[in-house]
Amino acid sequence: MADMLGMDPGRIERLRSPDRLAYFDPAKIWPILQTGADCTLVDIGAGVGFLTLPFAKANPGAKVYGCDILEGMVGLLAEDAANQGLGNLEALLMQPNAIALPDGTADFIVMAQLHHELDTPEPLMAECHRLLAPGGTIAIIDWKDEDNGKSPAKGRRVPEASIRAQLTDAGFTDLQSHNDIYEFHGFVTGRA
């Protein structure tokens, strides 16, 4: 049976809402990463495809994997990709710390508004390092660790120093912060 936990209609509506664009426009991510038109992008915790659908549409030569642990999310993403004729976007059901793709598949990995939901980020960071081609880039974008009136509550946010330590422990180098891009979100990149 499909896993429908976390699939309440209100949450789906919030994730899809164009209101998010006012403070979290995914189009601002790609110039920072310098994604090429024919790159391979893996989005972890892709949800309903707020990042992956527009990216796949704008980059028909790219291969895009939208991965999530919820079958329901993956189903919605697959449906929208098919409806939009996006043959370059594959919705992939993943295990909490494991993605069924070969080593070195990705040029870029993006994780957006996911980190604060992870109980143990370390194994997922290691899995990201395995999935990235040498020199590939990971981007972690999540709510800034400050009381800025947006959800989640401050106690559930992850300090940038913790994210940096996890990335370093997983073998990532050249860590960079891009905290001027979004008002409410921190943005850290690292290189495999």
Q: Binding residues for ligand SAM, per CB under 6 A? A: 6, 15, 44-47, 50, 68-70, 73, 94, 96, 112-114, 117-118
Q: Choose between 77 and 192: whose C-beta lies nearer to ligand SAM.
A: 77
Q: Choose between 42 and 69: whose C-beta lies nearer to ligand SAM.
A: 69
Q: What's the CA gap between 173 and 25, in Å, rounded?
A: 26
Q: Choose between 11 and 134: whose C-beta lies nearer to ligand SAM.
A: 11
Shortest Cβ 168–ligand SAM spacing (Å): 20
Shortest Cβ 93–ligand SAM spacing (Å): 10
Q: What's the CA gap between 148 and 131, in Å, rounded?
A: 34
Shortest Cβ 7–ligand SAM spacing (Å): 8
Shortest Cβ 39–ligand SAM spacing (Å): 18
8 Å CB contact between 181 and 28: yes
Q: Is 3 helix (H, G, I), strand (E, B) or coil?
A: coil
Q: Choose between 39 and 112: whose C-beta lies nearer to ligand SAM.
A: 112
8 Å CB contact between 105 and 131: yes
Q: Choose between 62 and 69: whose C-beta lies nearer to ligand SAM.
A: 69
Q: Choose between 169 and 174: whose C-beta lies nearer to ligand SAM.
A: 169
Shortest Cβ 122–ligand SAM spacing (Å): 12
Q: Is 84 helix (H, G, I), strand (E, B) or coil?
A: coil
8 Å CB contact between 104 and 134: yes
Q: Cα 27 to the chain's mean position, in Å?
A: 13
Shortest Cβ 125–ligand SAM spacing (Å): 11
Point out the residue whose Cβ comes nearest to ligand SAM.
47
8 Å CB contact between 175 and 167: yes
Pairing of strands 132-143, 185-191: antiparallel
Q: What's the CA gap between 149 and 174, in Å, rounded?
A: 31
